[in-house]
Structure formats: C-alpha cells, structure tokens
Amino acid sequence: MTSRIPYRRLSLAALTLLLLATSCARLNISNYYRRHRPILDSIEHTYHDAYLKKPFSIEFTDRSFDHVSLELVTDTLTYIYEYRFDETRLPDTLKKYGYDTTSIGWLIRNMRTRNCTWIDNLDYYTETNKHSLIYISLWPRSFNSPFVSKKYYILTYFQQQQYFDSEGRLLVGRRLKRIRKINGDVYHRINDHVCYTISDRFR
Amino acid sequence: MPRNPLLLIILLLTVRPAMAEVHPASTRDQALDLLNKTTLPDSSVFWPNIKQPLFIANLKANINFPQKIYQGSNTNFCGYAALSYLPLNDDPLAYTIFMLSLYKTGEATWNGIHFKPSPEVHLAAGTLRFKGILDIRPADQLWFLSLADHFRSYLNFFTRHFHPGSENTFWAAVNYGKFNRMIRELLGYRVEARGSDLIRPDIADLYDFLKTTVARPGTTFLYVNNTYLHKKNHNKFKGSFPTHFIVLNDIHRIDGDPDMVDIIYWDYGGRTLRQVSLRFLKKITFGITHCIPPAP
C-alpha cells in the first residue's frame, strides 16, 4: 500500500508537467513578430506593391512548404494553379498573365523561409466605407512538437490606425466600440497598424 | 424558309435549345426600368435596419453584375447565393418584382410561394456585419435570410428560429434535396439531379457526363466537399461530406495530361478556372444538378 503512494504522486506530477507544457507551448505571436519584424514587414510591403499592380494571393498547400498555389485574379476569371515552389512552370505562368515575376518569386522564397502559409488582401467595411488589409497566416514548423497547438498564427496589416479596447482587442472604429471580427476571429493589438489572432483556419 | 416541313422541324429542334439559352425570360433593361420607375419609401417599417439607398444600389448591382452576388464570409448562405445565379441571369425582372414587394409590404409571393419572414429576420436584415461586401448589401441580406427562413430541411431541425449569428450555423444550411426543391418550387425549373448528401453519384465517366451536361441548355450545379476545393486548414482528417454549391460553367481536358482537367466554375461572387485531377473531382463531387428554365 505504502509503495503505491509515491507512484501516484509521481504520476500526478508528470501529468501536471504535461499539462503545463501543453498550456505554455503556445507561440507568443507578439514576440515572434517583433523578432522577425523586418522580414515580415518586407513581405507585407512587397505583396502590397505587387497586388496593386495585379491582384493575386499565394498559398503553401503542404506542411513541408514545397507546393505553392497561386490565385491570379483578372477581371473575368480567377486562375488557380498549383506547382512545386521550384518548378519552371511557375514563373512561366506568372509571365503569361503579366505578373511581376521578380517580386512574386521573392515573396514565395521568403514566405517559405518564414513559414507563411497564405497571403491575401481582404476587404472590410466601416459603416459604408471600404478598406483593405493584408492577411498573413503563419504556420511555424519550428513549433511542430507534440505539445504545441497546431493552430495558425495570423497577422493583419491595416492601412489606417486601428482602435482597441482596454484588453487590446480590435474595435470597429474610434467611435464604434464594438469588437471587430475578421473571418469570425477576434484580433489583438501588436501595434496601431498590425494585429494578430490564433485560428483553426489559415484563411 | 425551308419548304420541306421535315427540314423545318429538324431546324427548329436544333435551334430551339440554343434560343432557350440565349433568351432569358426577362432582360436586365426591363428590371432596371422597373426599379427606376418604382418609388420606394425612404425607410421601411418592415425592415427597420435597411437603408433605402443601399437597398436600391444593391439591386442595381445584382441586375447589372449578376455574377458578383456574394454569400458573405463565414456564412452558410452559399446554397442561396448559388440559387440566385438562376433568377439574376435568366429572369432579373421576376427577381426585382419580388424584392420590391418584399421591401414595401414585408411579404411577397413568387411562383405561388408566399414568403412572410419572421420578426427576427425583419430585424436582422441590414445588420449582418464582418461578412465582407455583404455588410453593405442589405438586399442580399434580406434575400438570403428570407430564403433560409422559409425553406427548411432536416439540417435545420435543431435550429428552427433565427438568432443573431444564425447565418453562420445550421439554421442557414442547405442540403442537396432542399437545394433542388427550392429551384423546382420557387423558380419552376426542371431539375435533373444525380447524387445525395452522403453518397457520391455512381457515374462511370464523370468527365464525359459533366462535359455533356454543361453543353446542354440550362445551368449545371455541383454539390461539393469544400474542405478540399477551398481548403482552410491542413488537417489530414477532413469531413467526407459536401458543404458547398458551385455553378459549373465548363470543363475540358488539359493537352498532354489525360488525368487533369480545367474546370471553370462560379462561386463566392466570381468565376474561377482551376486545374484539378479527375480523381480529385470525383472525390469532391456529391451532387450534379442540371436546371432547365421553364418555357417563357
């Protein structure tokens, strides 16, 4: 009987440690952003400029970040193609539809390095005014351990200064104090123009 | 004019399907004319949250650009948005008459079906937010909510009444049978359906079947598993059931690769061309509905 007590205590301690490990293993996205800010901001700027010339989005479709899907938006059709990231057909396709192969090639390489699984431009509305934001989904491979949440870390870049409540949650506007949701998720402040959330979906 | 009556019959039989396709029951001009001539009250007692200028702008946009109708992000309105493809393209006048009547009197009848939306829907139309452009499309909100409120099926059994946020839940869900029923009853189309909510249709040569179907007069819808078509996560285990309706505009093989096809389809307010393998297409397709418009 007495020999079973330490065994129980050990089990309890192990379980507690496991729970602690699971709960603590969530990536601190604010710190991640600050650490990698130059490259993340460059990805955003490059995408923003390239999107203005011709709209598109980029998605990495697998965990190894080897396959990339391009959505090329024209006035009449959206073309969706999927290639290996190093296939020659990829730049050929971009050229065919008149896209800037240099900046999109740079984006694909750097998104792959930084584990960005998706980048897109989203429209949102305040009252009747249309605005847009850039949406970057991160899926860090370095956090692929069993205890880490398999969720996506999403950064949103706004053109205008945003407003937040006392808990740092994104609001609809300065006068409109309602919490704004994007894709059904509540967002939190990193700075006045950049917010984050953790989501089950990358888009 | 051919003198041989047999030749005339053959000519009519050959030409008529094409005429049915290019001549809708009404035109955009007729719909716009009606809209311009109709005086609407500045605000509606039935729809307190709908702003009249936005309502009119929304109707005009739908009539002029029928393919732009958008279900809103993260809603379950895709079945209603796909269904809207038919009246907006084939009979915009009937759509406009219905919407104006609904706005002015709070209720309306289409093809003998009377719509009297619940008080909750009356209050909700115009208030849906964070759905992309649907935020500023009160007529679409009214249309989708009224359809969801009226047509019910087993998927809606546990969510009978609208509550704020119901547009994202099973309250708004559309299964295959309900989708076909709405088109048949509301729009009077002849509906030819193959498939179900759980089991894929047993079609030996899917490519050939789809190619033949889209070539016929009418509109072809596919009921698909959207977790593959419009992937939102990288989970290995995905639900193997359909959740989304698309309009198949065309399908053709890719030169030099007999297993790959280009599909051109409409959903989410626009047309898309996508290269997929036939295996993938077979995997995601649970229903194929071909709709033939009623004779004018």
Q: Under an 8 A CB cutoff, do B232 and A201 touch?
A: yes
Nearest chain A Cα to B132, which residue?
A: A124
Q: Are A61 and A82 in contact (CB under 8 A)?
A: yes
Q: Quick one: pLDDT band at residue B296, thresholds 50, 70, 90?
A: confident
Best probe of the A interface among B56, B129, B130, by most A CBs < 10 A, is B130
Cα-based torsion angle of the residue sequence B139, B144, B146, B152 in order, rounded to the nearest 10 degrees: 170
* pLDDT (0 to 100) of residue B15: 40
pLDDT digit string (tens) for B245-275? 999 999 999 988 889 999 999 998 999 999 9
Q: Quick one: pLDDT band at residue B8, thresholds 50, 70, 90?
A: very low
* pLDDT (0 to 100) of residue A151: 86
pLDDT digit string (tens) for A85-141? 999 999 999 999 999 999 999 999 999 999 999 999 999 998 889 999 999 999 876
* pLDDT (0 to 100) of residue A149: 55
Q: Under an 8 A CB cutoff, do B132 and A124 touch?
A: yes
Classified as helix, coil or strand, B260 is strand
* pLDDT (0 to 100) of residue B19: 39
Closest by Cα among B40, B271, B245 to B139: B40
A133: chain B residues, CB-CB within 8 Å = none
How distant, in Å, are the alpha carbons of A99, B8, B9, B10, B16 from that of B3? 57, 8, 11, 12, 19
B58: chain A residues, CB-CB within 8 Å = none
What ipTM was assigned to the predicted interfaces of this complex?
A: 0.85
pLDDT at B14 over 60: no
Q: What is the mean pLDDT of residues B117-128?
A: 96
Instruction: Give me the residue from A82, A123, A139 closest to B132, CB to CB.
Output: A123
pLDDT at A37 over 70: yes
CA distance A185 to B237: 23
Q: What is the mean pLDDT of residues A37-49?
A: 97
Instruction: Give me the residue from B54, B74, B272 closest to A184, CB to CB.
Output: B74
* pLDDT (0 to 100) of residue A11: 73
For the ranges A73-87, A172-186, B17-31, B72-86, which has the lowest average pLDDT? B17-31
Nearest chain A Cα to B135, which residue?
A: A125
**Partners of residue A142 on adjacent β-strands:** none
Q: Are B221 and B246 in contact (CB under 8 A)?
A: yes
Instruction: Give me the residue from B74, B130, B272 closest to A80, CB to CB.
Output: B272
- DSSP-derived secondary structure letter, B74: T
- DSSP-derived secondary structure letter, B131: B
Alpha helices in chain B (DSSP H): 5-22, 28-37, 52-64, 78-90, 92-105, 119-124, 138-150, 176-187, 206-215, 226-229, 278-284
Q: What is the mean pLDDT of residues A60-71?
A: 93
Nearest chain B Cα to A181, which residue?
A: B130
pLDDT at A17 over 90: no
* pLDDT (0 to 100) of residue B13: 41
Closest by Cα among A138, A111, A128, A125 to A56: A111
CA distance A8 to A195: 45
Nearest chain B Cα to A62, which residue?
A: B234
Show the 3-state SS of chain A: CCCHHHHHHHHHHHHHHHHHHHHHCCCCHHHHHHHCHHHHHHHHHHHHHHHHHCCEEEEECCCCCCEEEEEEECCCCEEEEEEECCCCHHHHHHHHCCCCHHHHHHHHHHHHHCCEEEEEEEEEEECCEEEEEEEEEECCHHHCCCCCCCCEEEEEEECCCCCECCCCEEECCCCCCCECEECCEECEECCCCEEEEEECCCC
Instruction: Give me the residue from A78, A125, A184 closest to B136, CB to CB.
Output: A125
pLDDT at A27 over 80: no
Q: Under an 8 A CB cutoff, do A79 and B274 touch?
A: yes
Pairing of strands A185-186, A188-189: unpaired
Q: Under an 8 A CB cutoff, do B234 and A78 touch?
A: no
